[in-house]
Amino acid sequence: MRVDRVDRGRRLAAAGVAVSAVLAVINVAAGLLSGSTSVTAVGVELAGDVLASSVVLVGLVLASRPPDANHPYGHGRLETVAGLIVGLILVGGGIGIGWRSLHGIDDMHAAPARMAVLALLLTIVVRAVMALLKFRTARAIGSRALASDAWNDTVDILSAVAALVAVTLARVAPDRFLAADHYGGFAVGLVVIVTGVRIVWDTTFDLADTMPDPRLLDQVRAVAMVVPGVLGVEKQFARKTGLQYHIDLHIEVDPSMTVRESHRIAHDVQSRLLRELGWVAGVLVHVEPAGEVTAGDRT
């Protein structure tokens, strides 16, 4: 099942690379031919998306590799690292776009041609479809990198809308709003920077082993408690490794039962969690005697 989930994300990331490449060529060409700074900025941003989506694709491929002796928890963290790299690419690209857009802002030139408007409209429609598909798939498979890529597409929509407004103003009243085309490109850069910072923030928390949503831990507790012999769940911890979580669970059992019996219960808990919760990659179960204070509790 995990392989199918990764394959879904990998195929969509590959499609994103192709779409970004086509849109980048269209917008850069339209921006240069029409004399629009903001459309060219959108094209440069889309060219950066080709790199970003390629990083996501590589991350998903590497994350699908099975555990080995040096990586007993698997290679899922590489998917999260890919999301972090995408965020850094966006921040750097946004700074470059903003600086380039303000360069030559006082120069006099003709208003952007109509092809600039058409290129931006095409970008908005295509990016809206891609963002919707990626967000849905990212939620379904739990991919931080693919979600980052979807946010990247959303940024492209906002950037294209800002550029469209700027180009329209420059075309309608070039004597008053010719500089709006440059400011539109600068706005594109700002949006890209903000989104990049947000992605870096989210992925950094994943790499720092931040606990998941409490509702997920409630699911773990609920599943464990229905296993015969489990009297309570004392502690539970979780760390994200790519698309899934590894769970450390302390369960309470009858203190008078044998080691063999308690081991069987722990194994039953582990098997049930892996079977019923698709977002769980692995479970380590520790057995505690019910009603007794352990050394770990006293410290």
Domain with 235, as residue range(s), is 214-298
Give the residues of the chain that fall short of pLDDT 70: 1-6, 56, 60, 64, 104-110, 144-145, 242-243, 292-299
Q: Where are the alpha helices (DSSP H) in the chain?
A: 2-34, 37-63, 77-102, 114-141, 144-172, 174-177, 180-207, 214-225, 259-276, 295-298
List b or e across 36-68, with b for residues whose CB sees 16 or more CB atoms inside 10 angstroms: bbbbbbbbbbbbbbbebbbbbbbbbbbbbeeee
Do 139 and 229 belong to one domain?
A: no
Q: How many domains does the chain have?
A: 2
Do 229 and 91 belong to one domain?
A: no
Report residue 218: phi and psi, to 5°. Answer: -65, -35
Do 52 and 186 belong to one domain?
A: yes
pLDDT at 126: 92
Tokens linked to 30:
């339209």
- Domain end: 153, 187, 207, which one? 207
- Domain end: 207, 231, 254, which one? 207
Neighbours of 103 (CB within 10 A): 10
In angstroms, rounded to a whole number, what is the distance separating the alpha carbons of residues 115 and 200? 35
In angstroms, rounded to a whole number, what is the distance separating the alpha carbons of residues 75 and 94? 30
Do 16 and 100 belong to one domain?
A: yes
pLDDT at 121: 92
Amino acid at 43: G
pLDDT at 264: 94
- Domain end: 190, 207, 224, which one? 207
Do 267 and 291 belong to one domain?
A: yes
pLDDT at 298: 43
Do 46 and 194 belong to one domain?
A: yes
Domain with 288 in it: what CATH number?
Answer: 3.30.70.1350
pLDDT at 164: 87
In angstroms, rounded to a whole number, what is the distance separating the alpha carbons of residues 154 and 3? 27
Neighbours of 179 (CB within 10 A): 17
Do 198 and 219 belong to one domain?
A: no
How far separated are the first and last CA of the chain, in Å rounded? 41
Residues 87-136: tens digit of each pLDDT: 888 788 788 878 877 776 665 556 777 888 899 999 999 999 989 998 98
